[in-house]
Every structure is written in C-alpha cells, then in structure tokens.
Amino acid sequence: MTDKRVTVYLASPLGFSRENNPYRERIKERLSRLGCSVFDPWEQKEVAQRIEQAMSVDDGAERARAIQEAARFTGAVNARGLKGSDLVLAVLDGTEPDSGTVSELGYGAGIGKRCYGLRTDFRDCGDFPGVPLNLQVLHFIEASGGRLFRKIEEIVF
C-alpha cells in the first residue's frame, strides 16, 4: 500500500445478526492494522434509523411504502460509499454468498474499483468442483485486479 490512507468498502451480510459482530470486527481490525479506513454499511446510523422506523409502521400499505423508501435510501448511501472508497472487500461465506454483498461487489467492479473477496467457508459454492465461488463472482474479483482471500490474516492490498 502507499502512504495514502486507503478506504475499503466492507461488503457483507454480517450485520443481519449480532452474533456476527465479532467476525466483522476481526476483519475491520485487520484492515485497520493495514492502515485502511473502512466504510461499513452496517455502521450507517441514518440507514438503520430509517429501516427501523419503516418496520415499525403498523398499516400494511404505509409500511410497504416506508420500507421501499428506506430501501432506496439505503441503496443510495451504499452507492455513495462504494464511489467514495478506493477498493471493495466482500465477505463471501455461506452456501451461496449473500445477494446484496455480491451486488455491492459487482457495482464496485463496474465502476472500476479493485475488488477483493474473503471466503473463509471451506465449502465450494461455484459452478464447478474445486472452484470456491460462482465463476462470474471470482472473475469480477480477479479482473478488477483483486484476489480471493481464504483467511482474515491473508488480507493484504
């Protein structure tokens, strides 16, 4: 890395359960030790507030509208975060990587960001035996100039 502080957009599904917070924090600690600043979508307080408010609406039609507005707002915040970051690190664990995480990675690759993946899950979920991810996801990571890491400790930029 250069002397410039690199901003990493941390794409992950890890905020859906508080039980994943220690894993997410370990990743952010590694990035901090590398001298990176992190844009973590799960730490965007206004996003969380809007989603919480939308979910608390009782009326079905009004709730649906509020959720749609919160979703649009969330997408816009994340798009700005991706545009303002230097690179993307996507957590790709699970039987299939999270669709939102893969979308963030694809958007990042599409706007010219270098993209990296972290897959600590030992199961393959790709199209071919021995390929750890869907071949397109792996291609976008590698074509952007990034790579797939299999352990948090392997992360380097």
- Report the pLDDT value the prediction gives residue 127, as an integer from 0 to 100: 81
Q: How confident is the model at residue 52 (pLDDT cuts 50, 70, 90)?
A: very high
| 27-37 pLDDT per residue, tens | 999 999 999 99
Domain borders along the chain are 7-42+84-154
Model confidence at 84: pLDDT above 90: yes
Domain 7-42+84-154 top-level CATH class: alpha beta
Q: How confident is the model at residue 3 (pLDDT cuts 50, 70, 90)?
A: low
Query: 30-37 long-range CB contacts below 8 Å, 24 or more apart?
Result: 30/152, 30/153, 30/155, 31/89, 31/155, 34/1, 34/6, 34/155, 34/156, 34/157, 35/1, 35/5, 35/6, 36/1, 36/5, 36/6, 36/7, 36/8, 36/157, 37/5, 37/6, 37/7, 37/8
- Report the pLDDT value the prediction gives residue 129, as an integer from 0 to 100: 86
Q: Please give the average per-residue pLDDT across 70-85, as a whole number.
A: 98
- Report the pLDDT value the prediction gives residue 76, as an integer from 0 to 100: 98
Cβ burial 109-133 (10 Å sphere, 16+ → b, else e): beeebbbbbbbebeeebeeeeeebb
- Report the pLDDT value the prediction gives residue 128, as an integer from 0 to 100: 85
Model confidence at 156: pLDDT above 60: yes
